[in-house]
Amino acid sequence: MPLNVAVQMDPIARINVKGDSTFALLLEAQARGHRLSYYTPDRLALLNGKVFAAVEPLQVRDELGNHFTLGTQRRAELSEFDVVLLRQDPPFDLAYVTTTHLLERIQPGTLVVNDPTHVRNAPEKVFVTEFPDLMPPTLITRDLAEIKSFRAEHGDIVMKPLYGHGGGAVFRVTRDDLNFGSLYDMFSVTFREQWVVQKFLPAVKAGDKRIILVDGEFAGAVNRIPAEDDLRSNMVRGGAAAATQLTARERQICERLGPALRERGLMFVGIDVIGDFITEINVTSPTGIRAIKNLGGPDIAKLIWDKIERKRQ
């Protein structure tokens, strides 16, 4: 049965057509005959307990420069949709959090992917701390004395913002780096939140592996190898995508996380693994499914729609 699907995303005109995971999901949905509507998060409204958005019918094509057509805009009550894809990119700020509060109102009549309540409760670098034995030593704080004692214990560390993304403001600080004091000062004026201090993992040279789980089950993976002159593996920072297999340890990690993700309605999740350790559980708008398919891996968009269709039957 065709589903009535709305996607909440950033402006579709500006996406990277060949790399965007949301776009891959939309292409697959359309191929299956589902009807697509599109809106950006700034068009959401909550009025007397009902959630509305100005939506536009959407058609997509896997063609650079000609990837979408929008129909006539209309004000829709979001509960009329079978499925809403919550897919805007971070920053995970209070505007983002507010959209999760609004989308929460249309459940369970509408299936929101991922579940907005649990997206809100699972910021990527916080949720992962529920699994301390799978993580590198990690401190979340803005307290100087705490950071100094962590640094004394662990030597080389990484400092990065708690709500950062795409490798922004990720620094390696070596044991004897005299810039630490200034970096601390800069973090404390730049970020209102606590930040992440983590043991530096030399294994990052071999890559930061993105593993996708669909409804708690392993679906595919891609390794991202940092450029020679950068710590960061993010593809937007020049990290190179490479085909990969899961290690035994990574399989164990997926088995441990699976039930927690499934229980929370986190259907489309990307975890990041460096060496033997997870550093993030991405639930807001994970990416990587096109890279995985382009490298000869599975078509994860199909797996996701199989699951969604089963849940909507």
Partners of 198 in the β-ladder = 138, 158
Q: CB-wise, 25 or 274, nearer to ligand ADP?
A: 274
Q: Which is closer to Mg ion, CB of 28 or CB of 272?
A: 272
Residues at the site binding ligand ADP, with contacts judged by CB under 6 A: 136, 158, 160, 164-168, 170, 198, 200-201, 204, 208, 226, 231-234, 272, 274, 279-280
Q: Are 38 and 55 in contact (CB under 8 A)?
A: yes
Task: Identify the CA nearest to 57 among candidates 20, 26, 28.
Answer: 26
- Give dist(CA 242, CA 207) in Å, integer: 9
Instruction: Choose the one of ligand ADP, Mg ion, none that binds residue 100, judging by a C-beta under 5 to 8 angstroms depending on kind.
Output: none
Whole-number Å distance between alpha carbons of 99 and 88: 10
Q: Give the shortest CB-155-to-ligand ADP separation in angstroms.
A: 12
Out of 120, 280, 302, 307, pick the active-site residue. Answer: 280
CA distances from 38 to 5, 112, 293 (A): 9, 14, 25
Q: Which are the contacts of 103, defined by CB distance < 8 A and separation ≥ 6?
A: 8, 44, 51, 78, 84, 86, 112, 116
Rank residues 82 and 272 by Cβ distance to Mg ion and give the closer one.
Answer: 272
Is 224 tagged catalytic?
yes
**For residues 252-281, which are near Mg ion according to CB under 5 A?**
272
Catalytic residue among 160, 264, 290, 302: 160
160 catalytic? Reply is: yes
Residue 36 or 271: which CB sits closer to ligand ADP?
271
Phi/psi of residue 39, each to 5°?
A: -155, 155
Which residues are catalytic, by number? 125, 160, 210, 224, 232, 272, 280, 282
Residues in contact with Mg ion by the rule CB under 5 A: 272
